């Protein structure tokens, strides 16, 4: 009798594309040592559908499925079914999508008020957030400060046990720079009276290209406590627009929009510097196969198949899941 045996799944290979990225489904063992009927895919961005890129069977002569390369799997409660027929017997296998929400921090400012008008109030249901898409101590997000000016701002741990601020700000005005924050014990009142940083959050630097001031990219390193702030004015650039074309921000809709004529070609999102030394942010298609509507830093080209008038939208409100859409008018 052999000292060990290889346990082989009926589905010996399964690759699924979810939200533009390819994932290999992994079978698992039951406690008794037999293989489970469930194969797992651990995703970075969850989705409701997946495209089968590869499916193979341990015994291709006796096993088959109506699910083939190119088939769409529909996930309900993060689970999709695959019916496999082997030796004229049907058996259901399950593909389960695993996803761990990224760590996050709340953002607070002076003008965040409760129903009685008390400032620095944290409403966890509506508070803006930054998040760690890398699942470490590096947090990022885009914060809407269009309705404020010279507010003090700060960050709050997700468990609300501490907050982080800085006693000072920028004068004269700046559109980019850093502060080293100080950790403060939570007052346990629901209010977080930050001393700063403060700044003119809607500064344009008399730059005619800045049509929507007040949206700030926030990067925070929880190891060093350094926060990097950058005021952003988004635009599109590439062969499809032919030139850098400014977008307009709508605070109510929480997004950037542009209606313009595009050529057949491609583009990426880019920021226009408010001041000469500001860093430039570039965002492109997150996936590797076609336009998924998800964005990544730099990313791939966003393709425009045919020329025409398009509505381009950019949604950065749900860090780290940045999204876009491209609608022909």
Q: Is the pLDDT of residue 271 over 60?
A: yes
Q: Which is nearest to 132 in space by CA: 164, 100, 104?
A: 104
What b/e readout covers 270-288, taking b as 16+ CB neighbours within 10 angstroms? bbbbbeeebeebebbbbbe
Q: Is the pLDDT of residue 4 over 80?
A: no
DSSP 6: -
Residue 6: the pLDDT is 54
Residue 33: the pLDDT is 73
Confidence of residue 2 (pLDDT cuts 50, 70, 90): very low
pLDDT digits (tens, 9 = 90+) for 145-202: 999 999 999 999 999 999 999 999 999 999 999 999 999 999 999 999 999 999 999 9
Residue 1: the pLDDT is 43
Pair 105, 157: CB distance under 8 Å? yes
Residue 28: the pLDDT is 85
Q: Which is nearest to 251 in space by CA: 316, 155, 295?
A: 316
Residue 187: the pLDDT is 96
Residue range 261-284: mean pLDDT, rounded: 98
Alpha carbons 119 and 183: distance in angstroms, whole number: 20
Alpha carbons 274 and 280: distance in angstroms, whole number: 10
pLDDT digits (tens, 9 = 90+) for 6-30: 567 899 999 999 988 899 999 988 8
Q: Could you tell me the two tokens for 248?
A: 């307009």
Work out the widest C-alpha separation in the chain, in whole angstroms. 82
Average predicted confidence (pLDDT) for the chain: 95
pLDDT digits (tens, 9 = 90+) for 37-84: 999 999 988 899 999 999 999 999 999 999 999 999 999 999 999 999
Where along the chain do its domains lie?
11-98, 104-208, 234-328
pLDDT digits (tens, 9 = 90+) for 112-152: 999 999 999 999 999 999 999 999 999 999 999 999 999 99
Residue range 219-233: mean pLDDT, rounded: 98
* Angle of CA points 73, 71, 95, to nearest 5°: 35
- Percent of the chain predicted with pLDDT > 90: 90
């Amino acid at each position: 009798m052999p000292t060990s045996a290889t346990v082989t799944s009926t589905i010996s290979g399964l690759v699924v594309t979810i939200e533009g990225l390819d994932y290999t489904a992994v079978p698992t063992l039951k406690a008794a040592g037999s293989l489970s009927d469930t194969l797992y895919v651990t995703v970075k961005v969850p989705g409701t559908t997946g495209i089968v890129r590869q499916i193979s069977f341990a015994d291709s002569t006796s096993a088959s499925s109506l699910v083939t390369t190119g088939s769409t799997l529909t996930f309900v409660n993060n689970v999709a079914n695959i019916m496999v027929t082997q030796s004229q017997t049907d058996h259901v296998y399950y593909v389960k999508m695993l996803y761990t929400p990224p760590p996050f921090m709340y953002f607070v400012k002076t003008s965040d008020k409760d129903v009685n008008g008390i400032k620095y109030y944290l409403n966890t249901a509506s508070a803006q957030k930054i998040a760690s898409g890398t699942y470490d101590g590096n947090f990022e997000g885009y914060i809407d400060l269009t309705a404020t000016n010279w507010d003090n701002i700060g960050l709050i741990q997700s468990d609300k046990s501490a907050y982080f601020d800085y006693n000072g700000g920028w004068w004269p005005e700046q559109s980019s720079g850093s502060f080293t924050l100080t950790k403060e014990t939570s007052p346990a009142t629901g209010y977080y009276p930050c001393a700063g940083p403060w700044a003119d959050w809607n500064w344009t630097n008399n730059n005619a290209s800045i049509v929507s001031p007040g949206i700030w990219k926030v990067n925070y390193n929880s190891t060093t406590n350094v926060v990097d702030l950058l005021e952003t004015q988004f635009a599109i650039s590439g062969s499809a627009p032919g030139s850098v074309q400014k977008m307009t921000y709508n605070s109510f809709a929480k997004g950037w929009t542009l209606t313009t004529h595009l050529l057949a070609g491609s583009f990426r999102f880019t920021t226009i510097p408010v001041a000469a030394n500001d860093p430039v942010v570039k965002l492109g298609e997150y996936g590797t196969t076609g336009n998924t509507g998800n964005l990544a830093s730099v990313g791939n080209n966003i393709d425009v198949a045919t020329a025409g008038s398009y509505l381009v939208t950019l949604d950065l409100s749900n860090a780290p899941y940045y999204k876009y859409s491209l609608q022909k008018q």
